[in-house]
């Protein structure tokens, strides 16, 4: 066994890039939480002390996430061509594997 540690030949993210990556992680978690609340309590439920429904709050969190993604694109950590290609592949998979149609009926 060797005592050598792996060190990437690539430079680490800049402080700005690292901060954006932390923001990305946080926003993904917030979207996840809102989606979970919508599943548990309903999309139109308004939590006590809140003015917006779970759907509206999830929409806001998605806006926050998209803002961070835009910043990641601006610094070159995310490439639009790759995002577009992945989007297309995912859309095909969803059409193939989703068990229900938008009207709620089985596919």
CA distances (Å), 42 to each of 36, 46, 50, 53, 77, in order? 9, 9, 15, 9, 35
- Whole-model pTM: value is 0.88
User: By C-alpha distance, which of 57, 55, 52 is closest to 39?
Assistant: 55
* Domain residue ranges of the chain, discontinuous segments joined by +: 15-79
What six digits make up the tokens of 72? 């990641």
92 CB-near residues (< 8 Å, 6+ apart): none
Distance CA 85, CA 79 (A): 10
Q: Residues 21-65: pLDDT tens digits? A: 999 999 999 999 999 999 999 999 999 999 999 999 999 999 999
Q: Residues 94-105: pLDDT tens digits? A: 999 999 999 988
């Amino acid at each position: 066994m060797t005592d050598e540690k792996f060190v990437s030949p690539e430079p680490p993210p800049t402080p700005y890039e690292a901060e954006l990556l932390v923001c990305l992680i946080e926003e993904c978690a917030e979207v996840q939480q809102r989606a979970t609340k919508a599943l548990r309590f309903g999309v139109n439920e308004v939590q006590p002390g809140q003015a917006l429904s779970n759907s509206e709050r999830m929409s806001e969190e998605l806006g926050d996430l998209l803002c961070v993604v835009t910043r990641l694109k601006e610094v070159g950590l995310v490439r639009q061509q790759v995002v577009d290609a992945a989007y297309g592949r995912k859309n095909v998979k969803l059409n193939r594997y989703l068990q229900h149609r938008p009207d709620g009926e089985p596919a």
